[in-house]
Amino acid sequence: MTRVSSPETVSAAAGPVSCRSCDLYEICRRCDRIAIEEERGLRRTGALRTVRAGARLYRAGTPAHSIFAVRQGMVKTVRVDPDGEERIVAISLPGDVLGVEAFGEHLYALDAVALQTTVCCELPLSVLSERCARAHELASAIITLLSRETVDQTTFTRGSISERIIALILDLSRRRERRGLDGRRFALGMTRQEIANLLDTRIETVSRTLQRMSRDGQFDLSGQWLELRAAALLQTDRGALAD
Amino acid sequence: MTRVSSPETVSAAAGPVSCRSCDLYEICRRCDRIAIEEERGLRRTGALRTVRAGARLYRAGTPAHSIFAVRQGMVKTVRVDPDGEERIVAISLPGDVLGVEAFGEHLYALDAVALQTTVCCELPLSVLSERCARAHELASAIITLLSRETVDQTTFTRGSISERIIALILDLSRRRERRGLDGRRFALGMTRQEIANLLDTRIETVSRTLQRMSRDGQFDLSGQWLELRAAALLQTDRGALAD
DNA sequence: CGAAAAATTGATCGACATCAATCTGTGTGG
DNA sequence: CCACACAGATTGATGTCGATCAATTTTTCG
């Protein structure tokens, strides 16, 4: 069994959607970029891109010149771990917008890979900024903020429990350091119950795992207080200390 | 053991941070809302709010008049399932911004609960919109889009495998319907391997669980194609069909 | 100090991972 | 058109990590 491709089932499979029901509609409209099937006009701006199954719409780390909307097909956004493992972050359906992280950083944060032959509308950032010219700088600051938020979403519910615990601790540590706080020794600030909830596990498992890791010398732990060992801080990647 | 509160350990525990290292800094500055410790001026606008441990900064579903930045302390954002179960979505540290969903919808999407005595800066939306007055409407459209993105983040890595599968299927179904596509019968569009990756499980488990659910009559399944049973569509909550 | 919440520790069980084999469907070339 | 190859999917047997149930111990606070 391979991917769906029979022509007559395209709509049930994945689109295309009308511009009206696309998340990018209001923005395209304000940019005079509508585009397809607008009333009877049907003028196209030629901003369509077709990507075959398995091909990438964009790659993590590359300069971002456009945001995209899926018109037809499906796209997975993927984070590739340093060890080469793929983690699917989200699935985009027709009408969904891709690459909004381009607003803030001007780099894509994820790989966007077509799951099947996919047609996307491409909206260059240059068009947006041109239209935004008169907009107050405050607006762009808000946009930058929001944009960061969408990328920051780290999840702590993947992998083994020890991996999740390490991910949480290193996340707390790094975020504290970014704020000028002590990232080496700090209070967890959460009960074991709250940690368990966040990591989608049980309080007994959190307790046991923390104890074991502490015994194994990954950090010193005393109640709420945790102090990372020097070796731990050298690791930059989630899961690096697991087991 | 209860929460950290010893005065001399406040900084290592949770702040306060300087305005300069806060995510809201650029926005506050443009609103002439700096506020605290600005050079030697130290003029305060009185926009501080103190929340005791366990108290709520805001509640899901209530009208949103402000966004917040944590100055000192910690806050958990929580989704309360219909069955009353709490799911921690994120932990906010000093310098983090809370309530950005207020930009789009004017309702908070989550409960924000202080993990300890917490001091927040409050920035009313009215101040923002006043400053935004001359900003082009396009900017606000972009903001709305981004705002939605930050809320939409559904994770499929919580609960049992059958719960995750149901969550994924209903998510696909609803998102398709919102786009005017068939939400009852559609192709998954992903290989079992990709589903397994997304749900943080194994291909064999996905296969087995899909087979079992299909046998149990939750849906008809044939390769990529899935057709939800009428009963399934009546359920609106994730996990409603589990096991 | 005493009560209550939080945390730890132990014993047992079950869901899911893992390893392995087989089956099914799709596209390809003779 | 059929045989073949291969990716994808299914099914089975077994092992293990984390859930669950239960009992203490530790910490905090009135």
Q: Tell which wins on pLDDT, A32 or B213.
A: B213
Residue A82 shares a structural domain with residue A22: yes
Q: Please identify, among B152, B178, B199, the residue that sits at the C-terminal boundary of a domain.
A: B152
Is residue A79 within 8 A of residue A60, CB to CB? The reply is yes
In this complex, do A134 and B136 lie within 8 Å of one another by their Cβ atoms?
Answer: yes
Residue A144 shares a structural domain with residue A173: no
Which nucleotide is at minimal CA–C1' distance from B164? C16
**Within a domain: residue B220?**
yes
State the pLDDT at residue B47: 80
Residue B56 shares a structural domain with residue B132: yes
**Within a domain: residue A112?**
yes
B162 touches strand C (CB under 7 A): yes
**Residue A118 and residue B94: Cα distance in Å, rounded?**
42
Residue B59 shares a structural domain with residue B140: yes
Q: Is the N-terminal amide bond of A124 cis, ω within 30° of 0?
A: no
Residue A108 shares a structural domain with residue A211: no
- The residue with tokens 């009960």 is A191
Beta bridge partners of B122: B68
How many domains does the structure of chain A reveal? 2
Residue B140 shares a structural domain with residue B184: no
* pLDDT tens sequence across A150-195: 766 778 888 999 999 999 999 888 888 887 788 899 988 888 988 8
- The residue with tokens 């949770």 is B14
In this complex, do B17 and A181 lie within 8 Å of one another by their Cβ atoms?
Answer: yes
State the pLDDT at residue A202: 95
Q: Is the N-terminal amide bond of A82 cis, ω within 30° of 0?
A: no
Run of H or E residues at B167: helix B161-178
**Within a domain: residue A242?**
no
**Within a domain: residue A243?**
no
Residue A48 shares a structural domain with residue A129: yes
Residue B26 shares a structural domain with residue B86: yes
Residue from the list B4, B88, B131 with its beta carbon closest to the beta carbon of A198: B88
Q: Please identify, among A126, A152, A178, the residue that sits at the C-terminal boundary of a domain.
A: A152
Q: Please identify, among B121, B152, B183, the residue that sits at the C-terminal boundary of a domain.
A: B152
Residue from the list B4, B155, B198 with its beta carbon closest to the beta carbon of A187: B4
Evaluated on CA atoms B229, A89, B86, A194, the torsion sign reads: positive
Is residue A94 within 8 A of residue B179, CB to CB? The reply is yes
CATH value at residue A84: 2.60.120.10
* pLDDT tens sequence across B183-219: 899 988 888 988 998 899 999 999 999 999 999 999 9
Evaluated on CA atoms A105, A129, B68, B84, the torsion sign reads: negative
Q: Which domain holds residue A199?
A: 161-234
Average pLDDT, chain B: 79
Residue B112 shares a structural domain with residue B210: no
**Within a domain: residue B143?**
yes
